[in-house]
Amino acid sequence: MKYLYLALLQGLTEFLPVSSSGHLVFYQKVFGFQEPLLCFDIILHLATALSVIIFLKKDLKTIMAETFISLKQIISGKKFIFIWQENSSFRLGILIFIAILPAIVFGLLFSNIIEVMFGSLKLVGITFLFTGTILFLTKYANQKTRSEFNLKDALIVGLAQAVAIIPGISRSGSTIACGMFRGIDKNLAARFSFILAVPTIIAAGIYKLKHGIGEINLSILMIIISFCVAFLSGYISLIFLSKMIAKAKFHYFAYYCWLMGAISIYLTIFYY
């Protein structure tokens, strides 16, 4: 049951703006949960990556096809600036690539510090409160929205994702919120964040491979069931979050994050 619960937790919190890493630290500290086996953790990451790939299959297919065509045109001699101006899907693909770079740099430079942060429930309590505040402020985001990202938007959202490596700060919450604060249409901000999740989740899984796969001590059946649970819960959370954003209820998640933050800090003061 422990592994099925971890799979459910991964699937739900990977995309809902409540911080999957913050929940992992909370449950490790409060309930004595051990961090999942490396191989199992990578399997869960693959499951959630697959859920967002299927959820956005049309968008991803278009971006990949248009990027391939555009690269062929560049090789054949057509100027990059013309293709950039003409092809919105190609622009989006480039901006996604740019947006992922800050997180990669941040993760490589501060990996040791980040690992230490995963041992602090007090820090997670504070960052949960911070995440909740950011989510709540989206209620007052600019109502005059734009329908396309630019280079500056991508860099700022990328920096927000880099900061979200800190446990307790939600990746989806911070990236969607930054898009909204920049005046991007809320649904487009969410779509950009979801697309950005694909290379980010895959990169995180690859990064974990530096420690090696390790032994797989689970049965094939348990691995398959856990994969399915993470995949289905991830897919459902994407649908749910999309509807909440469309109904302008994104800030509702702030109350949950504030509650988790308050509980974490209370436990730190009186029990740990």
Global pTM reads 0.93
> What is the C-alpha to C-alpha distance for residues 21 and 165, in angstroms, rounded to an integer?
8
Tens-of-pLDDT digits for all 272 residues of the chain? 788 888 999 999 999 999 999 998 998 888 777 666 667 888 888 999 999 999 999 999 999 999 999 989 998 988 888 899 889 999 999 999 999 999 999 988 888 888 888 889 999 999 999 999 999 999 998 777 898 999 999 999 999 999 999 999 999 999 999 999 999 999 999 999 999 999 998 888 777 766 655 556 778 888 899 999 999 999 999 999 999 999 999 999 999 999 999 999 999 998 77
Q: Give the start-to-end residue ranges of the domains of the chain.
A: 2-58+105-270
- For 138-163, the pLDDT digits (tens) are 999 877 789 899 999 999 999 999 99
- For 14-53, the pLDDT digits (tens) are 999 999 999 989 988 887 776 666 678 888 889 999 999 9
> What is the C-alpha to C-alpha distance for residues 40 and 243, in angstroms, rounded to an integer?
30
Q: How is residue 101 written in tokens?
A: 């770079």
> What is the C-alpha to C-alpha distance for residues 221 and 66, in angstroms, rounded to an integer?
39
For residue 146, give the 3-state DSSP assignment: strand
**How far apart are the two ends of the chain, measured CA to CA in Å?**
27
Where are the strands (E) in 84-145, listed by range? Answer: none
Residue 160 bridge partners (DSSP): none
Residue pair 3/40 in contact (Cβ under 8 Å)? The answer is: yes
Q: How is residue 183 written in tokens?
A: 């005046």
User: Residue for token digits 């290379």?
Assistant: 199
How large is the angle between the packed helices 151-163 and 186-208, nearest 10 degrees? 50
Closest by Cα among 89, 136, 176, 98 to 259: 136
**What is the predicted pLDDT for the residue at 144?**
75
> What is the C-alpha to C-alpha distance for residues 84 and 90, in angstroms, rounded to an integer?
7
Residue 219 bridge partners (DSSP): none
Residue pair 131/17 in contact (Cβ under 8 Å)? The answer is: yes
**What is the predicted pLDDT for the residue at 215?**
58
User: Residue for token digits 């459902």?
Assistant: 236
- Compute the radius of gyration of the chain from its Cα atoms: 19
Residue pair 87/70 in contact (Cβ under 8 Å)? The answer is: yes
**What is the predicted pLDDT for the residue at 211?**
60
Where are the strands (E) in the chain, listed by range? Answer: none
CB contact set of 75 (below 8 Å; sequence gap of 6+)? none
